[in-house]
């Protein structure tokens, strides 16, 4: 289903998830992507997290992590870590647990410039 909004916006309804998304042609200066909760089956101790991104001048990508021992509840999960700005690798500060999740914040102070997150690896 697609319905037209104002000023070039449109809405997309998703049947399986029961959600409606508002889309537009314009660019935003900030956005957040939250990964799936990665299951390591047993309690794990974390190494480093690194990422590969295209960051034109005036843009940035910052990651945070959190960990937990249950898949479908917010209970038992740590708070989001402090920002980890080093794309070449930062020690994951989240406590040892079965699940790990990251959140990426992409920002731009330059109209027309957009950062692109290509890959995230963790140990």
| pTM beyond cutoff 0.75 | yes
CB under 8 A, 24+ apart: contacts of 54-59: 54/115, 54/116, 54/118, 55/115, 56/110, 56/113, 56/114, 56/115, 57/110, 57/113, 58/108, 58/109, 58/110, 58/113, 59/106, 59/107, 59/108, 59/109, 59/110, 59/113, 59/114, 59/115
pLDDT of 79 reads 95
Low-confidence ranges of the chain (pLDDT < 70): 1-8, 17, 25-27
pLDDT given at position 1: 47
User: According to the model, what pLDDT value does residue 8 have?
Assistant: 65
pLDDT at position 78: 95
The pLDDT assigned to 69 comes to 93
Q: Give tens-digit pLDDT for 77-108.
A: 999 999 998 999 999 999 999 999 999 999 99
Query: Mapping DSSP to helix (H, G, I), strand (E, B) and coil, where does residue 11 land?
Result: strand
Pairing verdict, β 10-14 and 19-23 = antiparallel
């Amino acid at each position: 289903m697609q319905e037209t909004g104002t000023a070039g916006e449109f809405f997309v309804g998703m049947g399986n998830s029961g959600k409606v998304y508002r889309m537009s042609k314009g660019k935003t200066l900030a956005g957040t992507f939250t990964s799936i909760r990665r299951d390591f089956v047993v309690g794990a101790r974390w190494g480093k997290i690194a990422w590969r991104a295209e960051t034109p001048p005036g843009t940035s990508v910052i990651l945070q992590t959190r960990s937990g021992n249950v898949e479908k509840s917010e209970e038992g999960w740590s708070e989001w870590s402090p920002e980890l700005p080093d794309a070449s690798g930062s020690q994951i500060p989240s406590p040892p647990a079965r699940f790990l999740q990251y959140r990426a914040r992409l920002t731009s102070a330059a109209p027309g410039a957009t950062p692109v997150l290509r890959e995230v690896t963790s140990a």
